[in-house]
Amino acid sequence: MGRLDGKVAIITGGVKGFGLASAKIFVREGAKVVVTDVDETGSSDVLNELGGVNAIFVSQDVSKEDSWEPVFKAAVEKFGHVDVLLNNAGILSFNDAEHVDIDEWHKILSVDLDGVMLGVKYAIKYMKDGGGSIINMSSIAGLIGISNLYAYNAAKGGVRILTKSAALYCAEQHYPIRVNSIHPAYAHTPMVDAYPEMRETLEKLHPVGRLGSAEEIANMALYLASDESSFSTGSEFVVDGGYTAQ
């Protein structure tokens, strides 16, 4: 029996990276998935890979509030309900506290923080009666400072504490919704693999001596999407090869 049998999940940024890996594992474990992404390139291939009856694609810019209602409506119309939201969509750029550009700052926060906030808001609306799991993809950059990821640090740190606030709110309202965050270290995704010249340096940062795989992060998302995590809310789940243990 699949660990997600009967569940319906929305996965943002699902065309590649952690999102795609999670979509594959969720479908394998019995879920139906709604994959969203701002980039429609490759969406047909993704749907074919997931199986025609198991998934749909909805174009979405997570930073725009008016993009969220259509995603949830599409999920309900196709599959009947929504049980899981994986707030995975994100972007990255390098900047520091002295030289950061204000437009770049707002761009990073609009996707990486505002997008998560909006996802949580609409997931509560659609899950508060039937229950569900909201999973927010943060980062080790939400736990520790990294000097050349100034805006990304701010966004992912915001995701970490936003998650806790939302979890407490849902519990206080007696909504059967769990809200948790995942904190990966550097892993093989298009975002990281775009900088091959940094690979050796990044590998040395992890005590295990390698980068993670997208599947290893997706396995944590699977746990949080499943009923196995029924007593976990407001928590941060670190998947980092020992990075933050140092």
Indicate whether 190 pLDDT > 90. no
Q: Higher pLDDT residue, 45 or 125?
A: 125
The predicted model gives 146-164 an average pLDDT of 98
Average of per-residue pLDDT values in the chain: 96
The predicted model gives 120-135 an average pLDDT of 98
Per residue in 135-144, pLDDT (tens digit) is 999 999 999 9
Angstrom distance (rounded) from CA 153 to CA 138: 10
How many Cα atoms are found within 13 Å in the side-chain-facing hemisphere of 235? 13
Indicate whether 176 pLDDT > 70. yes
150 is catalytic: no
Angstrom distance (rounded) from CA 142 to CA 155: 8
Helices 68-79, 115-127: axis angle to 10 degrees equals 40
Per residue in 226-245, pLDDT (tens digit) is 999 999 999 999 999 999 99
What are the DSSP E strand ranges found in 120-217? 132-137, 177-184, 187-188, 212-213
* Three-state DSSP class for residue 193: helix
Class of domain 8-239: alpha beta
**CB-based burial label for 201 (10 Å; 0-12, 13-18, 19+):** exposed
Position 1 confidence tier, pLDDT thresholds 50, 70, 90: low
**CB-based burial label for 91 (10 Å; 0-12, 13-18, 19+):** middle
For tokens 């990304």, the residue is 152
The predicted model gives 63-90 an average pLDDT of 98
Q: Annotated catalytic residue: which of 150, 152, 186, 243?
A: 152
